[in-house]
Chains A and B, each alone.
Chain A
Amino acid sequence: MDVLLAIITLFGLYGLVTVGMAVTFAATRVVNLAQGDLVMVGAYTAAVVTGPAFGWRVTLALVGAAPLLVLIERLLLRRPLSDPLATMLVTWGVGMALRQVAELQFTSTARSVKPPIAGTVTVLTAPYPAYRLVCGLVAVAVIGLVLLAAYRTGWGLTLRAVADNPTMAALLGIDPRRLRTIAFVLGGLLAVLAGALYSPLLAVTPTMGFGLLVPVFFGLLFSRPGALATAAAAALLIAALSVLLRVWMSDVLAEVLFYLIIVAIAALRSRPWIRRYSSWLTRVRVPARAS
């Protein structure tokens, strides 16, 4: 049971960041390499603003980060958007700048956040820290809401349309610029939320988001562009693999095996026969969903 809870908690963290990255990627075809550092921004807001209750600090992180994200998108990403590599480098630079600002402002000494809910709860005979559970469940609920929005609302439809064929979507009257801004802000906010929500479980340092980038990046790699559900599923797979391996063996061995498996999946996926099989699967599914 506690293995399941551990998977939920880790999936919440990976899932929020991966789905956020996938939303940005769907609309802009840009891998936002500053995503990890946005987690750090969220965590620092929760760590530094000590006055209000924890819930308000999380809200503050989101409200404060939104204009920042709009600015980044409008000022830095709009121009080089035609060149995905250049845009990716810009996001890399943004991430580096965020890390340096945090280091100058708060030094590299780690900070901690007191969990708003202390104590443990017993879930089917397994005692589990209460806040860890709450935070995992909130994250899973938010991921669910984002997926619901993507598959059941008009906005979600336009997002998927732009992800599928931006030129055609523009011809049909969708303003891709507006959508890109909204998608970038939403994607970024999911990372900020992850940082603020998970700050009581982590050490808050300027470089804390950097380590998240690898699992999240693989999550994005395993998903189909525009299909946010596959991104969430990939994050779940990665979280489950990471937890299960570490339950069965020592951390050091588990890490080596984890990367071996992930890289093997990535390599296998690109084999032609598997590709053909998966694209055949999609082709069957697409008309079924459209009807």
Chain B
Amino acid sequence: MAHTRSRAGAGVLTAAVVLLALSGCGGSAVSDAQDGGKGPLKIGVIVPLTGPVSSTGKALRNGFELGVKKVNAAGGVGGEKVRYVVVDDAGDPATSTQLARRLIQQDRVSMLFGTITGDTAEAVGKVADDAKVPFGTAILGDVERCHPYGWGFGESTRQLLTPTMPKLIEKYGPKVAIVGSDYNYPHFYAGVVKELVKREGGSVVAEEYSPIGQTDWQPVIKRLKAARPQVLMAMVVGADAVSFSQQAKQFGLLTPGLGYEGAPLDSDYHPALGALVNGRTHTVRWADGLDDPESRTFVADYRAAYTFNAPIPEVAGNAYFGVQFFLAAAKKAGSSDGKAINSEIARLTFDSPLGKGTRFDPANHVFQADMLEATIKPGMEYEVSRRLGRIADTTPKPGCS
């Protein structure tokens, strides 16, 4: 993967130059991160703006920017406007670590936000813990370990699957197959699927993983088909979500009679897979079809600001409301000291379209918020067909309790 390396290298270099220019200090010694809690609040945003996951990274950044803009329009935090620095990690964990360190030491940010893939989130999470700076993510899926300074606004795997699995089994049947890209998250996802299928009295009839970047899915599809599943749970990500779904349809695996849920139904893939997934339901935390005034304003602003006419990715909504949660905590803390803000984040309850009185569970730092069932329709929106209410996930994780 020399190309990612070289691009990442160039990214580091540019980022370094930009950061030096922005901070205006080349050789000052490393000092306490946050100026003893005085001065305007500054947030460091680490997202992949280049590389295979850049479209999701950009969606997160867009949602984040609009969220900060909204808070600033209402007066900012502590009477001052919130500032932020966006840097590109190209989805490479080594780069994420370096960028997180620079943002903390040179830009003196009070919070970090962003990252898309699990490995980059883990990398930044470690730096944030060391520097005692709160770090927020917005993508779905949870890391296996809890970070004392890490807070995820995306739904946890249990929140995603607890309402979904029983409904799929009830509607399509008890025989479930799992397919995933071969890295740690899909395996974790499969573990939760198996646990819930067992609880519902169903059975997992096939489980297949394939290395990322697969072009020919025929052997996998054949094995899946041979197991005659009634429900297929897919955690195949990136371009593979598209090629897998397309080939599954061509080989007659993906029929209207088969329950299909997972990453390929995300709105990110709708421009490519719309025709295959229209009419299906998908469990999400936020959808652009939500009709509360805040979501409507956000959707309108997003479409206008970024001339965007596809379904708005869920990660953008999570980032938009997530950063408002973070800034509300900073306001309460009354300082830009990371440690003080972190303890406020742990205590805060916050109302937003993601739920009334949303808060983080102390045992696992999972965001306790509502879930929705969206129906995918042709056009620009994921229509909300059922509100699933608050889905609690209090399973403790090592690292926090």
Q: A57 interface residue, CB < 8 Å from B?
A: no
Q: A212 interface residue, CB < 8 Å from B?
A: yes
- Which one of B209, B214, B222, B272 has the greatest number of beta carbons of chain A within 10 Å? B272
**Which residue on chain B has the smallest CB distance to residue A132?**
B250
User: Looking at the complex, which of B33-41, B52-60, B147-155 is the stretch in contact with chain A?
Assistant: B52-60
Bound Cα distance from A244 to B271, whole angstroms:
34
Bound Cα distance from A243 to B273, whole angstroms:
26
Q: A247 interface residue, CB < 8 Å from B?
A: yes
Count contacts on B: residues with CB < 8 A to the other chain.
Answer: 39
Q: B219 interface residue, CB < 8 Å from A?
A: yes
Tell me if A10 and B216 are in contact (CB < 8 A).
yes
Bound Cα distance from A208 to B182, whole angstroms:
18
B181 to A: closest C-beta gap in Å: 10
Bound Cα distance from A252 to B212, whole angstroms:
10
Bound Cα distance from A201 to B246, whole angstroms:
7
Inter-chain contacts of B213 with A (CB < 8 A):
211
- Which one of B209, B210, B240, B250 has the greatest number of beta carbons of chain A within 10 Å? B250
Q: B252 interface residue, CB < 8 Å from A?
A: yes
Tell me if A6 and B239 are in contact (CB < 8 A).
no
Q: B275 interface residue, CB < 8 Å from A?
A: yes
Tell me if A251 and B250 are in contact (CB < 8 A).
no
Given A107-B55, A112-B246, A112-B272: A205 and B216 within 8 A (CB)?
no
Tell me if A108 and B52 are in contact (CB < 8 A).
yes
Inter-chain contacts of B55 with A (CB < 8 A):
107-109
Q: B385 interface residue, CB < 8 Å from A?
A: no
Bound Cα distance from A212 to B214, whole angstroms:
10
Given A109-B268, A112-B272: A201 and B52 within 8 A (CB)?
no
Q: B242 interface residue, CB < 8 Å from A?
A: yes
Inter-chain contacts of A176 with B (CB < 8 A):
none
Tell me if B268 and A6 are in contact (CB < 8 A).
no
Q: A114 interface residue, CB < 8 Å from B?
A: yes
Inter-chain contacts of A247 with B (CB < 8 A):
219, 222
- Partner pick for B243 among A120, A202, A246, CB 8 A cutoff: A202
- Partner pick for B211 among A201, A205, A255, CB 8 A cutoff: A255
Inter-chain contacts of A204 with B (CB < 8 A):
272
Q: Mark B190-210, 1 if CB is under 8 A from A, else 0.
A: 000000000000000000111
- Which one of A120, A127, A202, A254 has the greatest number of beta carbons of chain B within 10 Å? A202
Q: A2 interface residue, CB < 8 Å from B?
A: yes
B349 to A: closest C-beta gap in Å: 36
Bound Cα distance from A108 to B251, whole angstroms:
27
Tell me if A110 and B219 are in contact (CB < 8 A).
no
Given A111-B271, A112-B246, A114-B275: A6 and B215 within 8 A (CB)?
no
A118 to B: closest C-beta gap in Å: 9
Given A108-B53, A212-B215: A252 and B209 within 8 A (CB)?
yes
Tell me if B216 and A211 are in contact (CB < 8 A).
no
Tell me if A131 and B220 are in contact (CB < 8 A).
no
Inter-chain contacts of A150 with B (CB < 8 A):
none
- Partner pick for B3 among A6, A96, A112, A131, CB 8 A cutoff: A96
Q: List 22 interface pairs A-B (beta carbons < 8 Å), by A numbering.
A: A6-B218, A108-B52, A109-B268, A110-B269, A112-B246, A120-B252, A129-B251, A201-B250, A202-B243, A205-B52, A205-B239, A210-B3, A211-B213, A212-B215, A246-B216, A250-B209, A251-B209, A251-B214, A251-B219, A252-B182, A252-B209, A252-B210
- 7 closest A-B pairs by beta carbon, nearest first, are A203-B242, A203-B239, A246-B219, A129-B250, A251-B210, A112-B272, A203-B243
A-B contacts besides A6-B219, A9-B216, A127-B252, 20 pairs, CB < 8 Å: A2-B222, A96-B7, A103-B50, A103-B54, A108-B53, A109-B55, A109-B269, A110-B242, A110-B269, A112-B246, A115-B250, A129-B250, A203-B240, A203-B241, A205-B52, A208-B239, A243-B219, A251-B209, A251-B210, A252-B182
Spell out B's residues near A (CB within 8 Å): 3, 7, 50-55, 58, 182, 208-211, 213-216, 218-220, 222, 238-243, 246-247, 250-252, 268-269, 271-273, 275
